[in-house]
Amino acid sequence: MTEEIKEMGRWRKEVCEIVSEMLDNPDEHGIYPTTRCYERLDSLIDDQEKFWEGVIEDAAKRAGVDTRGLVGNAILHTMVEKIEKLEADWEKVKRILVGEN
């Protein structure tokens, strides 16, 4: 579980760094480089999805659960739902950042 805890800390730190970099670097007109920020955050979310799917699959295998079966699929489905919620939350953040409340 230590690897997973480290990954969560790394992920949170990276999100802060990405957003901070954007906010620290507006162009000459005061416009923030949101496109680059969004692309980096989207990439980070994709990486996290793959990481956590691997963690779940490894845990299921250690527990003797066939990830091709219903239990394995249910576990993966739950994680996908959580990732989709994170993506939806990020979409809200993006709208706030560009002033589309």
Tell me the CB-side half-sphere exposure of residue 42, using CA atoms within 13 A. Answer: 8
Range of the domain at 89: 2-97
pLDDT in tens, 77-86: 677 777 777 8
Q: Provide the domain count of the chain.
A: 1
The predicted structure's pLDDT at residue 24: 92
pLDDT, position 92 = 79
Cα 38 from Cα 35, distance rounded (Å): 5
> What's this model's pTM, rounded to 2 decimal places?
0.55
